[in-house]
Amino acid sequence: MNSIPLDPDAVEAIQVDAAAIETAVAAIVPGADPNADLRLAISCMDLTTLQGDDTEDRVRALCARARSPLANAPGLTTAAVCVYHAMVPAAVAALHGSDIPVAAVSAGFPHGLSPLPTRIAEIEASVADGAKEIDIVIRRGHALTGNWQALYDEVTAFRTACGPVHMKAILATGELGDLTTIARASHVCMTAGADFIKTSTGMEKINATLPAGAVMLRAIRDFHAQTGRRVGFKPAGGIGTADQALQWIALVRQELGEDWLNPGLFRFGASRLLDNVTGRLA
Instruction: Give the range of the structural domain holding residue 12, as residue numbers without chain letter.
Output: 8-281
From 46, 135, 168, 195, the catalytic residue? 135
Asked whether the predicted pLDDT for residue 111 surpasses 90, the reply is yes
User: Domain containing 165 — which CATH number?
Assistant: 3.20.20.70
Q: What single letter denotes the amino acid at residue 217? A: L
- Mean pLDDT over 202-223 rounds to 97
Q: Amino acid identity of 96?
A: H
Per the CB < 8 A criterion, the answer to whether 129 and 85 are in contact is: yes
Q: What is the spatial distance between Cα 223 and Cα 227, in angstroms, rounded to a whole number?
A: 6
Q: Based on the structure, what is the number of domains in the chain?
A: 1
Q: Is residue 170 part of a domain?
A: yes
Q: What is the pLDDT of residue 159?
A: 98
The pLDDT value recorded for residue 110 is: 96
Q: Which residues contact residue 111 at a Cβ distance below 8 angstroms, ignoring those fewer than 6 apart?
A: 137
Of 46, 168, 195, 234, the active-site residue reads 234
The answer to whether 3 and 188 have CB atoms below 8 angstroms apart is no
Residue type, 269: G
Amino acid at 193: G
Per the annotation, the verdict on 135 as an active-site residue is yes
Which strands sit side by side in the sheet containing 45-48, from one edge to the other? 232-234, 196-198, 166-170, 133-137, 102-106, 80-83, 45-48, 268-270
Task: Specify if 50 maps to a domain.
Answer: yes
Identify whether 3 is part of a domain: no
Q: Which of 37, 46, 168, 198 does the annotation list as catalytic?
A: 198
* pLDDT band (50, 70, 90) for residue 125: very high
Distances (CA, A) of 123 to 53, 161, 246: 22, 6, 33
Spell out a b/e string for 169-200, using b for 16 or more CB atoms within 10 Å of the CB, else e.
Answer: bbbbbbbbeebbbbbbbbbbbbbbbbbbbbbb
Say how far apart CA 81 and CA 269 lie, in whole Å.
10
* In-domain check, residue 66: yes
Residue 1, pLDDT above cutoff 90: no
Is a pLDDT exceeding 90 seen at residue 107?
yes
> What pLDDT is recorded for position 282?
80
pLDDT above 90 for 42: yes
Task: Tell me if 88 sits within 8 A of 102, measured CB to CB.
Answer: yes
Rounded average pLDDT over 195-203: 97
226-270 per-position pLDDT tens digit? 999 999 999 999 999 999 999 999 999 999 999 999 999 999 999
Q: Is residue 169 part of a domain?
A: yes
234 catalytic per annotation: yes
Q: Is residue 1 in a domain?
A: no
Structural domain contains residue 139: yes
For CA atoms 234, 235, 238, 242, give the dihedral sign: negative
- Residue 30 located in a structural domain: yes
Mean pLDDT of the chain: 97
In this prediction, residues 109-129 reach a mean pLDDT of 97
Instruction: Please state, for a pLDDT cut of 70, what percent of the chain lies above it.
Output: 100
The pLDDT of residue 188 is 98
